[in-house]
Amino acid sequence: MPRTGRPRSFDDDQVIGGALEIFWRHGYAATSLRDLKGGIGVLPGSLYAAYGDKHAIFLRALGRYVDASREQADGIAAEGPVLPRVRELLLGVLEAARAEPGRGCMLGNTAAELLPRDEAAGRLVHDGFGALESGLERALDAARRSGEVRPDIDCGAQARLLLALMQGLHVVARAEADPRRLADAVDAALAPLTARPGSDHPDR
Amino acid sequence: MPRTGRPRSFDDDQVIGGALEIFWRHGYAATSLRDLKGGIGVLPGSLYAAYGDKHAIFLRALGRYVDASREQADGIAAEGPVLPRVRELLLGVLEAARAEPGRGCMLGNTAAELLPRDEAAGRLVHDGFGALESGLERALDAARRSGEVRPDIDCGAQARLLLALMQGLHVVARAEADPRRLADAVDAALAPLTARPGSDHPDR
DNA sequence: CCACTTCTTGAACGCACTGTCAAGAAGTTG
DNA sequence: CAACTTCTTGACAGTGCGTTCAAGAAGTGG
């Protein structure tokens, strides 16, 4: 007997990716299902049949962003010199704010708009922040072992500092005509980490 | 000839203050005029007659918050030891997040939700951030002159760093069950400012 | 106390939103 | 090809929104 029906006309990845793009730019409340339809070409009826309701679609999109954040965090903790990568990460926030104003970080945007009321979104944002913090901490730990950063640094505290700085840059940059004005704050944050040139570094 | 009519039954300060409270907690889009009525007891019709529309009421409330931020900024730049006050400011962000989750900073909330699309709000947020940055910079400058912070510190860059850290703490704290976990990031940010015990401080 | 002005009130309007549904389109399998 | 299943489509209901407005209430100055 026949068991299959008409297949989906849209690709799951494309729909969630498109929804992420729109939610990212406009936020949750300010995004209507017609905006989603306009952006990805799938009508509300199909979206509801496939995913449930608007909130469920949002959580799917946010979940994809969290996955991407996890990958980014792992990239920071990769091999090689760490501080230039961290610096690039933070300056990249400012450059993104200049090139595409009004996007910011999806995690921070969601935190500001929906937390702590939306518990499901809260868990995802918590995971995303946790991944970034953990990636930064692992990276700093490795850098400390290699002598790239001073041995007396508290890598956990520094990771939390850098995460908060990153989120703060996203926010403050929104109000700046040229976000690059904030670049010296990045260097001010990273300078104290560097090992002194003549200082003792354990190995190598 | 008679020229005056029925006087207002509500106090302007109370209405704007009440509106600020509600916008602060719920954001702009998520606050309806019926919410405002519920919170301050003034019907939409009167609000429209008195202030214009919803957006105008929001700008008035935001303007009041900016004024308060300016006063807070001046408080930081007051006389006496600066670093303990800055530390208290940043730890106060975390304590507020613990005691009253979901408020954050009205400037940051507005930046995340409305900027850079809403230009009038953008100017106000820019002014508020500017006041905080300037207050921090003046405070650090004074502290450097008094020997409280190291003489080789770039006070402008540090002020921008602390402002961004403050805003970031507001955001990240929303996703933390206990925001005090972030307290060590505050100390990590302030530690490099302190003059070394045996170091040279110009006067006193 | 009366003429006049302004404010308050609650209903109402137009609109946009989320979510639903029935009918038709488009596949798949025996 | 025929039976069957699933998806798509566009219209629609229900709700809540910002905003307006006419009528009555409440003061004020002469």
Q: Is the CB of B34 under 7 A from strand D?
A: yes
Q: By three-state DSSP, how is residue A105 classified?
A: coil
Q: Which nucleotides of C are covered by protein (CB under 7 A)?
A: 3-11, 16-22, 25-30
Residue B4's pLDDT is: 77
Residue A198's pLDDT is: 45
User: A111 and B174 in contact by Cβ < 8 A?
Assistant: yes
Q: Is the CB of A30 under 7 A from strand D?
A: no
pLDDT in tens, chain B (204 residues): 456 777 788 899 999 999 999 999 999 999 999 999 999 999 988 999 899 999 999 999 999 999 999 999 999 999 999 999 999 999 999 999 999 999 999 999 999 999 999 999 999 999 999 999 999 999 999 999 999 999 999 999 999 999 999 999 999 999 999 999 999 999 999 999 996 654 444 444
Which residues have CB under 7 A from strand C? Answer: A 1-7, 31-35, 44-45, 48, 53-55; B 1-10, 42-46, 49-50
Q: Is the CB of B32 under 7 A from strand D?
A: yes
Residue A197's pLDDT is: 53
Residue-wise pLDDT tens digits, B84-109: 999 999 999 999 999 999 999 999 99
Residue-wise pLDDT tens digits, B27-40: 999 999 999 999 99
Residues contacting A128, CB < 8 A, separation 6+: A65, A66, A69, A70, A107
What's this model's pTM, rounded to 2 decimal places?
Answer: 0.94
Nearest to A175 among B30, B111, B175 (CB): B111
For the segment A11-32, the average pLDDT, to the nearest whole number, is 95
Nearest to B185 among A27, A117, A161 (CB): A161
Residue B59's pLDDT is: 98
